[in-house]
Amino acid sequence: MLDITFIGIICILLLLIFIAIGVPVGISFITSGLISTFLILDGARAIALLVGSAHSSIAAPSWVAIPLFILLGALAVQSGLATKAFRSADAVASGIPGSVGIATCLATAGFGAISGASIAATSIFGKMALPEMRKLGYNKSFSSGIIASAGTFASMIPPSMMFIIYALFTQTSVAGLFFAGIIPGLLSAVIYSIYIYIRCKNDPAMMKRQKAQPELTVKQRFSAMGESWPIILVAVALLGGIYTGIFTPTESAAVGCILIVVIGFIQGHFRKFDAFSGALRDSANTTSMVFLINIGALFYAKVLALSQMPANLTSYFVNLDVPPIVIIIIISLIFFLLGMIMVPIGIYALILPIVAPIVSGLGYDLIWFGVIALKLTEIGAVTPPVGLNVYALKGVVSRDITITDIFKGVTPFVIIDIFVLIVLIAFPILSLWLPNLLF
């Protein structure tokens, strides 16, 4: 009979093989988990474990937040709030070197505060901001790199679906994670903007084209900035409701959906049922995909627990005679490498059942580690060979911009993200100050 820990290793290898040959992530989790469970238990109990995982993915009240936040993002897209965010940010940055690139960073951060949809943000701003940048002389790598990288802000700035999934795997506070992501998300946006400013200021041709643009009056600036009031209202309602305890994260998502529908109807976006049904259809498609992955991921995590692999690894790493930060760096490298080849939910399901007990056992705060893990998956979203944001952007840009151009353009922003990651690891207070203050 095979050693039970060796079966855990087989389970991980099977998952990586299935993903490598193109099997959908959810099916890969279920198949590799079933094969491994048959080696530990009998067939009936293996199926019972899978059914139990499926039921807990649907019946647990905390999982309801996921489809609601997905619907919130879909409604935000359909209601034109991304356009309003861009106009407002453009008005704020107008006249500054690199204003359109900076506006894209600020607008993506603002849109992320109500959508939490990284790929959606990348696609929308690819259609909206890229033509403006090209008109002003931004080269194709630089402009596409800004959009693909800035799209990751939507994952870090609350509400974030990935924070919800992380919380469900690690039994941490969703509200705490939401507030922990605010400062790191804004920090990334600010450093991106500084880099864009410096690069554009040192490009005479780009500056010449920008100066030729008509300057906005004070009245025009305030008028454009005023368009963002729906975003501010929804963001304040979401985070304010959670902070005051009026809403749970799940209830705040429902309130956000209602607010966007009402605002969208008043402004004419949802007066035709097609627009509203389009958001429902998009969110249903995304929810079904996410829940298949979640069911498989939960089942897979239970199989790994049966193999005793997480417990054995936790015991090994906690007792290693090295500084705890060394183990955190090793875990971060694993996240970084997996981010290049796997979707974030898959990474969380594969790694968190193993590393969360290790991180906790070393004395680190799991909310802080949630920010680190999400930052690492953000970097993975723009690094080859998978780079989901890069491929999402490629789907909406002109043919003269290649995948290579986009990957080349994101390189300096990946370096910035690695710098921000190091700062977040070195100074946990940046992530923990707000949740500790508010809760």
- State the pLDDT confidence band at 2, using cuts at 50, 70 and 90: low
Is the predicted pLDDT of residue 209 greater than 70, yes or no?
A: no
Is the predicted pLDDT of residue 425 greater than 90, yes or no?
A: yes
DSSP code per residue over 303-368 = HHHHTTHHHHHHHHHHT-SS-HHHHHHHHHHHHHHHHTTS-HHHHHHHHHHHHHHHHHHTT--HHH
- State the pLDDT confidence band at 420, using cuts at 50, 70 and 90: very high
- The whole-number pLDDT of residue 213 equals 64
- The whole-number pLDDT of residue 426 equals 92
- Average pLDDT estimate for 177-201: 91
Q: For the chain, what percent of residues have pLDDT higher than 90?
A: 13
Count CB atoms within 10 A of the CB of residue 144.
29
- Average pLDDT estimate for 171-192: 90
Is the predicted pLDDT of residue 65 greater than 80, yes or no?
A: no
64: exposed, middle or buried (C-beta count within 10 Å: 0-12, 13-18, 19+)?
middle
- Average pLDDT estimate for 369-391: 85
Find the range with the poorest average confidence among 115-124, 276-285, 382-391. 115-124
- State the pLDDT confidence band at 109, using cuts at 50, 70 and 90: confident
Count CB atoms within 10 A of the CB of residue 4.
14
How many structural domains comprise the chain?
1
Q: Distances in Å between the alpha carbon of 94 and those of 88, 201, 211, 220, 308?
A: 10, 14, 10, 11, 57
Residue span of the structural domain in which 383 resides: 4-438
- The whole-number pLDDT of residue 373 equals 92
Q: For the chain, what percent of residues have pLDDT higher than 70?
A: 93
Between 297 and 418, the more confident residue is: 418
Is the predicted pLDDT of residue 74 greater than 90, yes or no?
A: no
Give the integer Cα–Cα distance in Å for 101 and 192. Answer: 9
